[in-house]
Amino acid sequence: MRLGKLRYDSKFMAVKFFHKTKGWSINWMCKQLEISRAAYYKWLHREIPKQELENTRLAELIKEYDERFTSVIAHQAMIAGGMKKSQRQDKAVVDKIAACIILEGYMDSIKNF
């Protein structure tokens, strides 16, 4: 996929999101983002390619797997840290530790980029 196509896709997705959630004018947003309304409507009513659908499905599976995997790592970290069983059963605590693990991985990827 070309970089220009990705850049416009993100603009089109933003127009769609803000029109649905905030009721903002499509015409006004297209002018602000310097895209044509015709191009937006063409994108909106396009037939999504099979490869794009497969990529979206795969991305969702990876995201789901990553969330499960970080929860397992969070539980292991809690055990290694000596937390009591009652604390380890608190989903909010597990989610906070998992979020920290995800954030740490993201920060490492930025640092190594």
Q: What residue segments make up the domains of the chain, in order of their start?
A: 3-44, 50-112
The pLDDT, as a whole number, for residue 42 is: 94
The pLDDT, as a whole number, for residue 20 is: 95
**Among 68, 67, 70, 74, which Cα is nearest to 90's?**
74
What confidence tens digit (pLDDT) does each residue in 2-47 have?
444 567 888 999 999 999 999 999 999 999 999 999 999 999 999 9
| φ, ψ of residue 101 in degrees (nearest 5) | -65, -45
Residue with tokens 């909106």: 44
Helix locations, 1-113, DSSP H:
3-22, 26-33, 37-44, 50-80, 85-88, 91-112
**For residue 1, is pLDDT > 50?**
no
3-state secondary structure of 23: coil
Mean pLDDT computed over every residue of the chain: 86
How far apart CA 16 and CA 10 sit, in angstroms, is 10
What's the whole-number mean pLDDT along residues 64-83?
87
